[in-house]
Amino acid sequence: MLSLTRKTDYALLVLAAMARSGSDKTSARDLAEQSGVSVRLLANILNRLKQEGLIKSARGTKGGYGLAMDPDQITLTRLIEAIEGPMRLARCCPVEGEVQPDGCRLEDSCITKEAVRKLHETLRNFLGQVTLRDLTWNTISLKVDLSVADDRYERLPAMVH
């Protein structure tokens, strides 16, 4: 089963709360109350989001956290990878800039490798089109760019919808 971890889910809730508030600064305590996430866990998530450049922070009594960019610029791919690291549907799926020392031992003889890699790329492309704005205001469009799939995989759009 392919699913997001709780940390990614919480990060999405917090970013959506920031996007909806429209404020430059929201305290960690307010974000914790809005999202239902403990302040302790939230601090860890906020630090990670800040390290990855998705949010900014200011210290002091008038400080807090805010988005570092417009919600249209934060994609679901970027959010997931900020928390989880590089997305990979299977071990044989390449990740840009990453050395793959523990590849699948069946890769040389695998008959589904190419199809899985195309599905991986299609999924990454789709998630890269979904933005924080889409998720916050439920405006996700199911326009999937299948340019990575060739004629042998015509049934792929039916699987995505």
User: What pLDDT, in 10s, does the model give residues 111-132?
Assistant: 998 999 999 998 998 999 999 9
Residue 149 has pLDDT above 70, yes or no: no
Give the domain CATH number at 23.
Answer: 1.10.10.10
Lowest mean pLDDT of 25-29, 56-60, 140-144, name the range.
140-144
Tell me how far apart the alpha carbons of residues 53 and 49 are, in angstroms, rounded to a whole number.
Answer: 6
Beta strands in the chain (DSSP E): 55-58, 64-67
List of residues 6+ apart from 154 with CB closer than 8 A: none
Residue-wise pLDDT for 12-50, tens only, equals 999 999 999 888 899 999 999 988 899 999 999 999 999
Whether residue 109 is predicted with pLDDT greater than 60 in this model: the reply is yes
pLDDT at 108: 83
**Which pLDDT does position 144 carry in this prediction?**
56
Domain count, the chain: 1
Best CA proximity match to 54, nearest among 22, 80, 32: 80
Q: Which domain holds residue 31?
A: 1-161
What are the φ and ψ backbone dihedral angles of 93, each rounded to 5 degrees?
-85, 120
What is the pTM for the complete model shown?
0.80
- Report pLDDT digits (tens) over 62-108: 889 999 999 999 999 999 999 999 888 888 887 777 666 566 788 88
Q: Which two tokens stand for residue 70?
A: 């417009």
